[in-house]
Amino acid sequence: MVRRVAFWLMLPLSAVQGLWLRRVATRLPGAPGARRGSTGAGEPLKFLALGDSIIDGVGTDDVSASLPGQFASLLARQTRQSVHWRVEGQSGYAIDDVLERLKSLRDISPPDIVLVSVGVNDVTGLSSTRRWRIKLKELLNLMGQYWPDARVIFAGLPPMSQFPLPPQPLRFTLGLRAATLDRIAAGVMATYPNAHHVPTLIDPQQPGFCEDGFHPSAESCTLWASHILQTHQGVNPHE
């Protein structure tokens, strides 16, 4: 309750700062490179990455250095399989955009593992908590309908209160809202047997951001990919 009151009290000033930030912030493109490929050798394992700028690789200089690219490489080494990966992400995507992208993928070869990153743009877009919960359930229901055997890994919303770019109190209010949406996401994922929420951690002692002060660097993606793989148990559906 206290968090909610603090959020709404600081919202007017935060909104003004947000508009200013949109005008002056550095805008980086998605990572260059192929959006499909394979890595490793052995039995095939199909991996799909779906979502926002994290999936698009913003802040890295190549898809191979992005979170999906590094996760695919680590997955291949751990499982000793040939990981066939596909990246379907776009900077700026919120939950509605990810849902539309998912619908366009209905007829692809069913993935074994789906990594989803979404929510930051729902925070900045002031999505209601009720709508966020409903849309997450819709996303999981559709994936269950399209690919019933796929394991879904949801990369938790980052602690936006630690992002270097936003000024205070905007940084604080973004952090509050991100934490709220992430708690909802964790709760929703817990109700689906094939879905797993993996919290996103930021080490304030490490230079974890790229030049825009908002997206992870390639080095940070290395640690993040390893954390997701280590946290997510039984990631290999063929075992």
Q: Is the peptide bond before 169 cis (omega within 30 degrees of 0)?
A: yes
- Alpha-carbon gap, residue 225 to 100, rounded angstroms: 26
Helix intervals (H) in the chain: 2-24, 53-56, 67-79, 95-104, 120-124, 129-146, 170-189, 218-231
Encode 166-182 in three state secondary structure. CCCCHHHHHHHHHHHHH
Tell me the pLDDT band of 235, cut-offs 50, 70 and 90: very low
Tell me the pLDDT band of 16, cut-offs 50, 70 and 90: very low
Residues in CB range of 9: below 8 A, 6 or more apart: none
**pLDDT for residue 203 is more than 60:** yes
Are the beta carbons of 232 and 77 closer than 8 angstroms?
no
- Alpha-carbon gap, residue 192 to 64, rounded angstroms: 30
- Alpha-carbon gap, residue 77 to 107, rounded angstroms: 28
Q: Which domains does the chain have, with CATH numbers?
A: 2-23+35-231 (3.40.50.1110)
Percent of the chain with pLDDT over 90: 62
Percent of the chain with pLDDT over 70: 82
DSSP codes joined into one string, 90-138: -TT--HHHHHHHHHHTTTSPPPSEEEEE--HHHHHTT--HHHHHHHHHH
Are the beta carbons of 163 and 213 closer than 8 angstroms?
yes
**Between residues 222 and 164, which one has the greater pLDDT?**
222
Q: What is the pLDDT of residue 237?
A: 40
Q: What is the pLDDT of residue 217?
A: 86
Residue closest to 88 by CA, chosen among 120, 132, 44, 57: 57
64-100 pLDDT, tens digit per residue, is 999 999 999 999 999 999 999 999 999 999 999 999 9
Residue closest to 229 by CA, chosen among 198, 192, 193, 186: 198
107-142 pLDDT, tens digit per residue, is 999 999 999 999 999 998 888 999 999 999 999 999
